[in-house]
């Protein structure tokens, strides 16, 4: 029997968010006839076999059940079984779509899995060394081609303070060559190459701000006044000493 959730309150109706099974009172009374107030919930077609966080794998069924009830942040699916046919998908495996309209799709690697409205979605990337992000696919539409390669990891980078950042994590980076600006990356990808492009990565904004405060070159009035005080005589021009001071701060 189909399940529905109340998406809009009405007189004598249930509270918003109430989930119930479809009515037994015939087709004319079916909740499907009231789309403004009721939305059909997707049937769950997967079982989570293990979770992953910071490289640690969790496969205790009791812990997984607790995670599903609370949807705690940080832990994400590492391997899942599709209930309709028993196929197991794990991070790093390669897939192609089952639907005909994507028949020319190249094989893609699963680099992240997450749940949205009880639908399991897999985030994909190319299989080559570039690891280019290539969209998402629902588990019901995926056709598994091969297992994950030995030693596969969805680790994106390790930050300046030693925190490991995985696909889907949030992090910050600074480019000294770009005026020391702080940039926020909300969803890390395997194709992120900032860490090798003269950038410094951080797990939190606070860490990035603190690093910039300690390391960004700056020119103080005290240093300028010191040169002026030492070069007051006409035979000791201050232009060159000031120029040298400025260049020492920006080069």
Tell me the pLDDT of the chain (251 aa) as tens digits: 677 778 888 888 888 877 777 755 555 577 888 888 888 776 778 999 998 887 788 888 888 877 776 655 678 899 999 988 899 999 989 998 876 555 557 788 898 898 877 788 898 887 765 566 678 888 888 899 999 888 787 788 888 988 888 887 889 999 888 888 899 988 787 766 544 567 899 999 999 998 988 888 776 666 677 767 776 554 556 667 777 776 666 55
Are 77 and 108 contained in the same domain? yes
Residues 21, 119 contacting (CB under 8 angstroms): no
Phi/psi for 127 (5° steps) reads -85, -15
pTM for the full predicted model? 0.59
Are 75 and 97 contained in the same domain? yes
Give the pLDDT score at 79: 93
Among 146, 175, 193, the domain-final residue is 146
| Residue 178, CA distances (Å) to 160, 199, 213 in order | 18, 9, 15
Q: Residue 182's closest CA among 151, 150, 160?
A: 160
Give the pLDDT score at 173: 92
Are 120 and 202 contained in the same domain? no
Are 68 and 123 contained in the same domain? yes
> Cα separation of 157 and 75, whole Å?
18
Give the pLDDT score at 250: 56
Are 56 and 135 contained in the same domain? yes
Are 85 and 24 contained in the same domain? no
> Cα separation of 149 and 169, whole Å?
22
b vs e for 145-160, b when ≥16 Cβ sit within 10 Å of the residue's Cβ?
A: eeebeeeeebebbebb
> Cα separation of 167 and 83, whole Å?
26
Residues 74, 53 contacting (CB under 8 angstroms): yes
Are 57 and 137 contained in the same domain? yes
Give the pLDDT score at 154: 79
State which residues form the domain around 105.
Answer: 46-146
Are 197 and 233 contained in the same domain? no
Are 128 and 64 contained in the same domain? yes
> Cα separation of 15 and 101, whole Å?
41
> Cα separation of 246 and 251, whole Å?
9
In DSSP notation, the chain reads --EEEE-S--TT-PPTT-EEEPPSS-GGG-GGG-TTTEEEPPPP-EEEEEEEETTEEE--HHHHHHHHHHT-SS-EEEEEEETTT--EEETT-EEEESSGGGTTPPPEEEEEEEEETTEEEEEEE-SSTT--EEEEEEGGGEEEEEPPPTT---EEEE-TTS-EEETT--EEEEEGGGTTEEEEESS--TT--GGGTT-EEESSHHHHHHHHHHHS----HHHHHHHHHHT-STTS-SHHHHHHHHHHHH-
Are 108 and 67 contained in the same domain? yes
Are 58 and 132 contained in the same domain? yes
Are 58 and 137 contained in the same domain? yes
Q: How many domains does the chain have?
A: 4
């Amino acid at each position: 029997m189909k399940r529905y959730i109340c998406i809009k309150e009405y007189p004598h109706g249930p509270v918003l968010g109430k989930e119930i099974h479809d009515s037994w009172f015939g087709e004319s009374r079916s909740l499907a006839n009231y789309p403004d107030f009721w939305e059909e919930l997707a049937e769950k077609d997967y079982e989570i076999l293990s979770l992953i966080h910071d490289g640690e794998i969790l496969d205790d069924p009791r812990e997984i059940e607790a995670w599903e009830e609370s949807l705690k942040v940080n832990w994400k699916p590492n391997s899942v079984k599709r209930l309709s046919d028993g196929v197991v998908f794990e991070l790093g495996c390669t897939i192609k779509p089952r639907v005909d309209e994507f028949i020319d799709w190249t094989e893609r690697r699963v680099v992240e899995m997450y749940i949205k409205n009880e639908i399991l979605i897999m985030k994909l990337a190319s299989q080559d060394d570039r690891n280019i992000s290539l969209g998402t696919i629902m588990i019901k539409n995926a056709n598994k081609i091969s297992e994950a390669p030995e030693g596969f990891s969805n680790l994106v980078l390790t930050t300046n303070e030693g925190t490991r950042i995985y696909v889907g994590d949030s992090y910050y980076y600074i480019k000294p060559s770009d005026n020391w600006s702080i940039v926020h990356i909300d969803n890390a990808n395997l194709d992120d190459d900032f860490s090798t492009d003269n950038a410094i990565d951080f797990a939190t904004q606070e860490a990035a701000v603190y690093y910039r405060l300690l390391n960004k070159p700056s020119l103080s009035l005290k240093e300028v006044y010191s040169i002026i005080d030492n070069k007051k005589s006409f035979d000791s021009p201050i232009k060159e000493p000031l120029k040298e001071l400025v260049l020492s701060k920006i080069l």
